[in-house]
Structure formats: C-alpha cells, structure tokens
Amino acid sequence: MNYQDYLSITPEIKQALENGTPIVALESTILSHGMPYPENLDFAHKVEEVVRGQGAIPATTAIIGGKLKVGLNADELEIMCRADNVAKASRRDVAVYLSTGQTAATTVATTMLIASLAGIRVFATGGIGGVHRGAQETMDISADLQEFAHTNVCVVSAGCKSILDIGLTLEYLETFGVPVLGYQTDQFPAFYCETSGYGVDYKVKDADEVARIMKTKWDLGLNGGILLGNPIPHEWSMDHSVIDKAIDKALEMAKEKGIRGKATTPFLLATIKDLTGGDSFASNIQLALNNAKVASLVVVAYSKIR
C-alpha cells in the first residue's frame, strides 16, 4: 500500500487533475473549529462559488472514514460543518486519525500535505498559524511553519492570525527559506488588518508573477512552500487598536482558563468575535473569500505556464 491508497478524490477533481484543470485546495478547520453552524455551511458554499467563478475547481479537504478526502460531497460537508466529534488534525495526527477512523478537520499544515499528495499546488486559507505570543517560554509554534519548509504548495492567506507574534513568525519562515510575497503590497497583512508593520520579502504585481515564481522555484528543486500575503479588502479591515485590545483580553482569558495547544486558536478567535460584537467574524469571512479569489487567479495563471 502507498499513499495513493489513502487518498479519496472526487470524480470531478480526479478528472481535473488528469486534464490539468486549475484546482484550489481549501481547508476544513475554518468550518469545524472556526465558525458556528449554519454560518459555516453558508460560507463553505460561498467560498467554493468564488473559486468556480474564477475558472478553477474547489477541493475542500478533510479526514473521513480512514481516508484523506480531496473534495467533499454535500453529506460530508454537512458533517464537517456540524462538527460533532470532529477533531482537528495537524501533521502529527494524520496517521493516527487515518488508522482509527477518526473524523477530522484539516489545518493549514494538513491541507498542504493532502494537496501536495494529490498534485494540487495552490491552497487558499484565512490566515496561517505561526509563533504564538510568549513562545519564548511556551514553545508554542504552529506545525504550519514546518510544513512550509518542505511541502511544495503556494498558500494564499491574509498573513498570519493577529493573535500571533508576527515578527517571530516571519523570522521562522526566513530561517527555512520560505519566500513571503505580498500580493500588490509591500506590507505583510495582519489578518483582520491590512498591515502589520512588517514588510514582505517581495511585492508581486499580479497572479502571473506569482505563477512564474512558483514554477521557477520548483523547477530549480527548491523544495518548500510559498506564502502569498493577501491583505483583507480595505472596507473590511479593522482598526489596530480595537483588535489589539480584544486580542490582549482574549489571551488573558485563555491563560486564566489554562487553554493551550490546538485548543488555543479556536478559543481566541471565538472570544475575539464576542469582544468585537461580531465585527471580527464578518472580517474573517471576507478575507477568506478574497483569498479564495486570488488563489484561483494564481492557479489559473500557473496552469497556463506549467
């Protein structure tokens, strides 16, 4: 048995892979652990519509029934959105959950892994994980960053989540040779906010330029991912002072409750949503949809030159 035996690819996506049709990978953690039901189901349909609207095929990933799912049918999407007994799977969990039959949503790291195994080169997410604040003491660093070090997938995101230490996250990526590109910006975005105060490695003008960088990097055997920072649309960008205040309060609450590990990010995002009166949730949806649009443009451009 090889890794192909663990992949379950929908007929539509299998045909797209054979024909070289552009495909965008999508994660499922944002559905199962980032949004409430039924808002998450509505978002799942919208994000797939955005991808199709740009001429690409959406491939939402998950772990169901001992298989790495590449594309979900309506029933499977419902399962992920209802999130009953749905775990959160990072790289370390994959073999265990496949072997035990545990249903699990895929993080950035696991989605990158599944996309790479299936032959998909572009993935749209909300924001990547990274180095948590206070990591000098806790060593809380997302496995997403290690995945970027060796998995050949371009990830389009609104930077990293604002709850993280953005400076240390960028330093970590630099150490492992991961190019951090800014889509039509020289500023690294900060999830809910257009800018973070940190720069990117390179500003790219359009999807065609991103596609050429992808091809050149992997043609040279320079293994590892590419992070494309795509700022949240201006009209949905939040004020830094408002979001920073909410983050500080949420971090304080997490510490008081003893929340750590993979439970940290879902708790913080839900708490910040409450503290901002739902404004952060609305921004989260819009930035994720915008990332799906840009990812689709990139993969369409890449499919033409590959």
* Residue 136's CATH number: 3.40.1790.10
Task: Give percent of the chain above pLDDT 70.
Answer: 99
**Cis peptide, bond prior to residue 38, ω within 30 of zero:** yes
Residue 174 annotated to the active site: no
pLDDT the model gives residue 109: 97
HSE-up (13 A, CA, CB side) for residue 80: 33
Residue 161 annotated to the active site: yes
Residue with tokens 């949730």: 281
Residue 191: is its pLDDT beyond 80? yes
Give me the helices (H) in the chain, please. 11-19, 29-32, 39-53, 74-82, 94-100, 108-118, 135-138, 143-150, 166-175, 207-219, 240-257, 264-275, 279-305
Q: Which of 27, 48, 76, 194 is catalytic?
A: 27
Its domain, for residue 92, covers 3-305
Sequence letter at residue 170:
L
Q: What total number of domains does the chain contain? A: 1
Q: Which of 69, 88, 161, 217 is catalytic?
A: 161
Residue-averaged pLDDT of the chain: 93
Residue 1: is its pLDDT beyond 70? no
Residue 262: is its pLDDT beyond 70? no
Average pLDDT over residues 284-306: 96
Instruction: Please enumerate in sequence order all residues whose Cβ is within 8 A of that of 294, keeping only pairs 6 or more positions apart, or say none.
Output: 124, 156, 183, 207, 228, 230
**Tens-place pLDDT, residues 101-115:** 999 999 999 999 999
- Give how far the C-alpha of residue 29 lies from the chain's centroid of Cα atoms, to the nearest Å: 9
**Tens-place pLDDT, residues 132-151:** 877 777 788 889 999 999 99
Rounded CA separation 128/109 (Å):
9
